[in-house]
Amino acid sequence: MTNNPKEYIYYVKGMHCPSCEILIEKKLLELENIKSVEASTAKGTVLVVYENERPTIGKLDALFKKEGYVFSSAPYQSNKKENRSKELIFTLGLGLLIIVSFLGLNRLGLSGLVNVSSKSSLPMFFVFGLIAGVSSCAALVGGIILSMAKQWGELYSDAPSTWKRIQPHLIFNAGRLIAYSFLGAGLGAIGNKINFSLSFGPILVIAVSIMMIFLSFQMLGFKAFRKFQITMPKFVTRYIANESNFKDRYMPFLMGAFTFFLPCGFTVTAQGLALISGSAFQGGLIMFLFALGTLPMLLTIGLSSVKFSQNPHLSEKFLKIAGILVLFFALYNVNFQLNVLGISSLNDLRTNFSATKNNSSQSEGGSPRGEAGLPPIVNGKQIIKINASASGYSPNYLKVKVGIPVRWEITDTGTGGCTNAIISRSLFEGEIPLTPGQISIKEFTPETLGRFKFSCWMGMVSGIIEVVN
């Protein structure tokens, strides 16, 4: 007797990314009567094609209890407003505490260690990987590791020692590290061929930051942003997620390598920044350190095989806190790239305050530098001087006359990272390289009236040169 396949739509609470879709599809396909499954994060639904009887809501809730998914036959409606308010206060409070700590580091000139951009200090990509490793993006990879644990245990059942039995987990992660390094180098090499200009590079960073903003809104639970997904085709990710395709003793290496192509907003962000870096070496290091950051959690999952680690959320509160941080870093990046492009940004508030304070002091005690705060002219050149450090420029607001050559003397009192060069695309081409303890000189002639920005090549510290009559 042939049973005609039937369709049924379940509504699911708890899905928020493509990894969730694959985890649910994979587990449901293991049930006897299920013929096909199509999960949709955007709709919050799972369409199943089944024969005979379909799984009950109770059975599915029990099946996915540890993963945190809840099934229903009708769309979910929001409730528990009081609990949500408490969670919101806790999430915002802890998130703001971390952000304030970050801004404190920024005041000390250490922000380059914790900023996410194509030319961020490399340790930041390790931190970025740590966040990915304990959030939703590790759920799929962690689930694959747990699924493979039984097969790998059978393949290595004759191993005489524990060291031999943990080898497949080490091989899996070695495959990840090596593949991420080489593929990241490939992305960087491609970026080098594209030859990003001073204008185009920041625009791409802003585009990646916008993607990070969408990712953060997904993590914070905004349903409208669930439709925004950048993933490989489902047939590719399903193949990689199917552990039955990787049964050979040495296949853990390839399986680890192929996780480069699994859907994860964190991974896509790191891949985009590796591309923008325009350097095979930098791109390789970016992806290597990102993968290295995910290593502790993945090794913990593999070596302990604790089912808690298979939970795609790990903690809903942490996921939301991570979402706040990703949103903050995205906006932080956009602000800095506006500096590079010479466009108004939040940095201007501080610069304008410095300018107002400087003009006020000059009007009270007279200008030590010349008429109306203009620099002295020596041998036909306007002489302006600043000190540059990792925390910024002093002074960060300067005035010069239009049409008269300028000699800019910059004393490096301790720059590092992105602050070791100054750019100003509106005043001159190229950059001014800085060397700690030395004075760098740049000569140019301002030809247009206005206020023009100068900054480090990542836009993290900036100032303004005003050109007047």
The enclosing domain of 65 has a CATH number of 3.30.70.100
Question: What b/e sequence results for 217-251 when a residue is b if at least 16 CB atoms lie within 10 Å of its CB, and e otherwise?
Answer: bbbbeeeebbeebbbeebeebbebbebeebeeeeb
Position 339 scores a pLDDT of 80
Q: Given this model, what pLDDT does residue 242 score?
A: 60
Of 293, 317, 340, the position where a domain reaches its end is 340
Q: What is the pLDDT of residue 450?
A: 92
pLDDT tops 60 at residue 331: yes
pLDDT greater than 90 at residue 297: no
Confidence tier at 323 by pLDDT (50, 70, 90): confident
Note whether 332 and 388 are same-domain residues: no
Query: pTM for this structure?
Result: 0.55
pLDDT higher than 70, residue 366:
no
Asked if 336 and 354 sit in the same domain, the reply is no
Give the residue from 300, 315, 340 where a domain finishes: 340
Could you tell me the pLDDT band of residue 140, with boundaries at 50, 70 and 90? low
Residue by residue, DSSP assigns 318-350 as HHHHHHHHHHHHHHHHHHHHHHHTT---THHHH
The percent of the chain in helix, strand and coil, each rounded to the nearest 5, is 55, 15, 30
The answer on 275 and 130 residing in a single domain is: yes
> pLDDT exceeding 70 applies to what percent of the chain?
65
Specify the range with the lowest mean pLDDT, choosing from 22-31, 154-163, 396-405: 154-163
Count of structural domains, the chain: 3
Geometric angle at alpha carbon 319, from 314 and 322, rounded to 5°: 130
Do residues 365 and 417 both lie within one domain? yes
Those residues whose C-beta lies under 8 Å from the C-beta of residue 200, and which sit 6 or more positions away, are none
Specify burial of residue 340 (Cβ count, 10 A radius: 0-12, 13-18, 19+): buried
Mean pLDDT of 401-405: 94
If asked whether residues 293 and 438 sit together in one domain, one would say no
| Residue 141 predicted with pLDDT over 70 | no
Q: 422 with 462: CB under 8 angstroms?
A: no
Domain end, chosen from 340, 357, 381, is at: 340
Asked, for residue 57, whether it belongs to a domain, the answer is yes
**Higher model confidence: residue 148 or residue 137?**
148
pLDDT at 110: 47
Q: Is 46 helix (H, G, I), strand (E, B) or coil?
A: strand
Same domain for 202 and 313? yes
Do the Cβ atoms of 262 and 239 come closer than 8 Å?
Answer: no
- Asked if residue 352 and residue 335 are part of one domain, the reply reads no
Domain extent, residue 464, equals 347-468
Residue 206: pLDDT band (50, 70, 90) is confident
Residue 140 within a domain: yes
Same domain flag for 98 and 233: yes
Q: Is the pLDDT of residue 291 over 60?
A: yes
pLDDT for the residue 113: 44
Same domain, 351 and 335: no
Gap between the Cα atoms of 362 and 360, Å rounded: 5
pLDDT of residue 442: 95
Say what the pLDDT of residue 306 is: 38
* Residue 1 domain-assigned (yes or no): no
